[in-house]
Amino acid sequence: MKKPIVNYYYTENGEEDAYLFNKGINEKSYEFLGAHKYIEDDKETVRFVVWAPNAKYVNLVGDFNDWDDYNLPMKMIGETGIWIINVFGVEEYDSYKYRIVTKNDEIKYKADPYAFHAELKPKTASKYYDLKGYKWNDKRWLNKKKKTDIYKSPMSIYEVNLASWKKKDNGDYYSYVELADELVNYVKEMGYTHVEIMPITEYPFDGSWGYQTTGYFAPTSRFGTPKDFMYLVDKFHQKNIGVILDWVPVHFCKDDFGLARFDGTGLYESQNTYEAENEQWGTLNFDFRKNEVRNFLISSALYWHDYYHIDGIRVDAVAYMLYLNFTGKDIKNEDGGNENKEAVSFIRELNTIIFKNYPNTLMIAEESTAWPNITMPVELDGLGFNYKWNMGWMNDTLKYIKLDPLFRKDHHDLLTFSLIYAFSENYILPFSHDEVVHMKGSMINKMPGEYSEKFDSLRLLMMYMYGHPGKKLNFMGNEIAQFDEWNEWDSITWGVLDFEKHVRYKKFISELNNFYRKEKALWEEDFDHKGFNWLEVDNNKESVVIFERISDKGEKLICAYNFTPVLRKNYPIGVDKEGTYSVVLNSDMQKYGGNLLRNKAYKTKKEEIHSKKYSIRVDLPPLGAMFIKMKQKNRR
């Protein structure tokens, strides 16, 4: 046991940082608050700084003073509500908390909201950790990213939960370092361009999947240290894979060691209990009216870019922020409306600051309503995100694909309606974790029909997704067609790869991703009408849709889909030019689990179809999809 340390002092130069934090304009408040190495007059200490404006007293307790309640009293900087102390002899990985005495003389032991590292659950203390010193090897990736137009680039995202992607035989987690081999190589093998990691900001309960956070500046210690997580991101970048983090600025958990009633009052949450309580999740909502709370959250988003080189943030549950009454509460703003004006202001400020510092990052809104201009720049009265999940497309498409094919003809609009609004925002098409949990069933089990037909339908669905305008996102397990619904306590059911159908489906997804990355027509004009043209939109009787995707230079890819188990032989498709057209990707190939050994080539006829001078007649496979491209002109 260490000898208690009482050697400390109070630095006098935190006033400006405290002032900026109170004003809500200390963008990098993580360099001030929290625990930091501090050198003054050649003396090295660790400076601890915490915001607790309504506390009567604050003491620092930890390994370095044998958790003595009294011998490290903190001092408030003026009337800023910010407490400070410099302590000698603190060592890396030392655990600590703040002992807060409230105005009602209640005693709380709180983890540091700005801690960079935390004890492994079920322990709850913060750990002193120096983030500096990691040697990055991703310069080539960062330079490439600066030159990349993210809107005119392929984006196929693999969404992953690190705790349940794969577990060891004894049930232990893979560490960040182990995942840097296992997960990185797998994502590369499967052809994805990005990985999206479900929240790893420190959280106490596995069952929350990370969405109920206690540490907004600490990657969870479940998988290792902060520098271990840097190593994982670094390895992704070395394989040319971008890293997106889920981030939760809506609410936080009520655990007593966390942010809840931090200084004995509603500090990070509203003082109004009715407004603060989030009954749906059993959490507390952030109060966006407070400068310090906005500063805390914006600093968190900036921090992950600064220290971990991440390539984007997916902001969770944006609708819960935008609407005061989204959860059914009767809350109005001062104008009598239900818009949360403070949250709107926060979101615009967040995106403005992030893009000022990182112009090529991804700021993705998970927003489920028709709130306008989500991806419009702030200066044009938008919210300032550059991407939005297309929840409408996801809901309509899954509702359609789950229908017995016999009845799809009566619901054709579920398949086509999304193109009315497809270019109103910059969309990502998501088949996320939310669609394969809570009794919703796995993706393969959403498909009607017998065993083989389920696989046919799933390949068809995926080719429809990849042909449709918008970037792509798929949750782990979807790529192997696991039959089990996602269970956060277990691994993906990798055992299905003992069966041929699943192996062939996995090969299909890998080749679909690789084809997608190479085919510019599928992503260069995702957000403009000129990148899309309907050929067959009204054939509900046969449940066939056909459209063209078009690249910047006018190169066209025909995307043809047959949503019934009936072969559509000699189906006419209009084309612009005379020549020979080849099927460049077919969901019905035997190597993917279908029926065909090889694809056909089709020569044009001078027959006007779909307002085109020429046409080809193709065999549309049952429950199948084809991508078709002109290969050569006829010789005269």
CA dihedral sign, ordered 139, 143, 146, 148:
negative
Q: 């958990």: which residue's tokens?
A: 253
Of the residues 27, 263, 316, 342, only one is catalytic, namely 316
Q: Nearest to residue 158, comparing CAs of 627, 509, 469? A: 509
Q: Which residues contact 269 (CB under 8 A, 6 or more apart)?
A: 252, 259, 260, 261, 276, 284, 285, 286, 287
CA dihedral sign, ordered 467, 473, 474, 479:
positive
* Amino acid of residue 275: E
> Contact, 402 vs 383, CB < 8 A?
no
If residue 632 lies in a helix (H) or strand (E), which one and from where to where? Answer: strand 624-632
Phi and psi angles of residue 627, each rounded to the nearest 5 degrees, phi first? -105, 130
Of the residues 292, 366, 456, 519, only one is catalytic, namely 366
Secondary structure (DSSP) of 506-569: HHHHHHHHHHHHH-GGGTTTTTSGGGEEEEE---TTTTEEEEEEE-TT--EEEEEEE-SSS-EE
Cα separations (Å) of 310 from 22, 59, 232, 243, 350? 28, 35, 11, 5, 16
- Cα–Cα dist 214/221, whole Å: 12
Q: Is 528 a catalytic residue?
A: no
Residue 305 CB neighbours (<10 A): 17
- Cα–Cα dist 106/247, whole Å: 32
Q: Is 269 a catalytic residue?
A: no
- Cα–Cα dist 344/321, whole Å: 8
Q: Which residues contact 267 (CB under 8 A, 6 or more apart)?
A: 51, 52, 53, 54, 259, 261
Cα separations (Å) of 357 from 106, 302, 351, 361, 426? 42, 8, 10, 9, 21
Q: How many residues does the chain have?
A: 636
Q: Which residues contact 106 (CB under 8 A, 6 or more apart)?
A: 264
DSSP state for residue 5 in the 8-state scheme: P
Q: Which residues are catalytic?
A: 316, 366
